[in-house]
Amino acid sequence: MKCKTANKKLTPYFNNELSVEQNKTIKNHLKNCESCYNLYSELKTTYDLIEKKETLKPNPFLYTRINQQLINIKNKENQSIFIPVYKKVLQTVLLSFVILIAVGGGIKLGSLSRIQQEKQLLVSQTTEFYFNDLGQEKIEVFLLNE
Amino acid sequence: MTEKELIKGILVANQTAFKILVDKYQPLVLNTCNSFLHNKNNAEDITQEVFIEVFLSIHKFEKNAKLSTWLYRISVNKSLNFIRDNKKRNIVRNIENFFSGEQNTEIQIADDNYQSSENTDNQDERIELLHKSINSLSKNQKTAFTLHKFENLSYKEISEVMNLSLSSVEGLIHRAKYNVQKKILKFYKKK
């Protein structure tokens, strides 16, 4: 048997999945071929280390660490819920306040200028009365009416 | 406290019930995470995350299910996510090192380049080779194989954890075993 063929069957041989005859052939080959035997023993030694499991000791401070992290998560959640609501309320209140001031100021300014205009109109009417009358009515019509 | 009492207690945020659960199931979660990560510190960090998830999503736990199965599932998912994220971080670091001209031996190892180690007579190096061979398996093969070989779970228990049929689990473990052995043989052939 060639080494290449034997190498291909090393895995099924290791897992006891070959027929009795094939098993015998590989076994004989491994007895006579040092390199194939070394390869097989490396596979066996390494793969069998799976049985050597590392068991970790529990950490006595784990619960404290978890608890602290849960508190941090809760605090973050509270902050993240409070901050947007607080910001939104503040933004709305400020915007409403600015709009109210703008509208109120506009109304106030508008009413001031109207009063001024009315006053000016009144003054102009009283001072221009005589001129207008004289200007619009002819002296003859005035005398006839008298 | 029975399993049901523990769950009822955690549902109402009972700290004593949660502490009992952490103490009782810490070895299971910690060792499962370590079987996947092969690193004590990382395993402890993921264990912490597992219990936090348990506390926060206990309402999702089905009453008829087994608590240990649920814990195994969360532990496996968290560990696999950690490995995936770690690979991404390694790729980014590799790219950064490539542009900065630095060499990263860690990544060379992650790429199955076992040639870098000179002496594998040492048992630790054999264990490292074994772990790397297992890590190179597909996600499902790795999960089934690790739970079976390191956690001694039966095929039925694995099928419950992975939500797969018994025959699928059997197939996964069989293929995983062959693939690990092939990797080991390939390494020694190259030597």
Looking at residue B112, what is its pLDDT? 45
For domain B113-191, say whether CATH 1.10.10.10 is its number.
yes
Burial class of residue B116 (count of CB atoms within 10 Å of its CB; 0-12, 13-18, 19+): exposed
Which residues in chain B touch residue A39, judged by CB atoms under 8 angstroms apart? 185, 188-189
Per CB-CB distance under 8 Å, the chain B contacts of A7 are 185, 189
- Nearest 5°: the CA angle B139, B144, B150 is 115
First to last CA, chain B: 56
One CATH from 3.40.50.10490, 1.10.1740.10, 2.60.120.680, 1.20.120.1200 for B1-111: 1.10.1740.10
pTM: 0.72
Number of Cβ atoms within 10 Å of the Cβ of B143: 25
pLDDT for B24: 94
User: Position B175: which residue type?
Assistant: R
Domain borders along chain B are: 1-111, 113-191
| Interface-testing mutation among B120, B179, B185, with chain A (most A C-beta atoms within 10 A) | B185
3-state DSSP of chain B: CCHHHHHHHHHCCCHHHHHHHHHHHHHHHHHHHHHHHCCHHHHHHHHHHHHHHHHHCHHHCCCCCCHHHHHHHHHHHHHHHHHHHHHHHHHHHHHHHHHHCCCCHHHHHHCCCHHHCCCCCCHHHHHHHHHHHHHCCCHHHHHHHHHHHCCCCCHHHHHHHHCCCHHHHHHHHHHHHHHHHHHHHHHHHHC
Best A40, A54, A66, A74 member to test B by mutation, with max B CBs in 10 Å, is A66
* Neighbouring C-beta atoms of residue B95, cutoff 10 Å: 10
Q: Which residue has the tokens 């048992």?
A: B123
The count of C-alpha atoms lying within 13 angstroms of the C-alpha of A78, restricted to the half-sphere facing its C-beta, is 6
Mean pLDDT of the residues in chain A: 84
| Contact status, residue B176 vs residue B165, Cβ threshold 8 Å | no
DSSP, res A18 = S
The Cα B63–Cα B45 span in angstroms is: 28
Share of chain A above pLDDT 90, in %: 42
Q: Is B67 exposed, middle or buried (0-12, 13-18, 19+ CB in 10 A)?
A: middle
Query: pLDDT higher for B87 or A139?
Result: B87
Complex ipTM value: 0.78
Per-residue tens of pLDDT for chain B, all 191 residues: 788 888 889 888 889 999 999 999 999 999 999 999 999 999 999 999 999 999 999 988 888 889 999 999 999 999 999 999 988 888 888 888 877 766 554 444 444 444 444 554 578 889 999 999 999 999 999 999 999 999 999 999 999 999 999 999 999 999 999 999 999 999 998 77
Shortest Cα–Cα distance, A37 to chain B (Å): 12
From CA B109, how far away is CA B94, in angstroms rounded? 12
Q: CB of A69 within 8 Å of any CB in chain B? A: yes
Q: Is the pLDDT of residue A130 over 60?
A: no
Q: According to the model, what pLDDT value does residue B86 have?
A: 87
Kind and range of the H or E element at A71?
A: helix A62-136
Q: Which residue has the higher pLDDT, A145 or B91?
A: B91
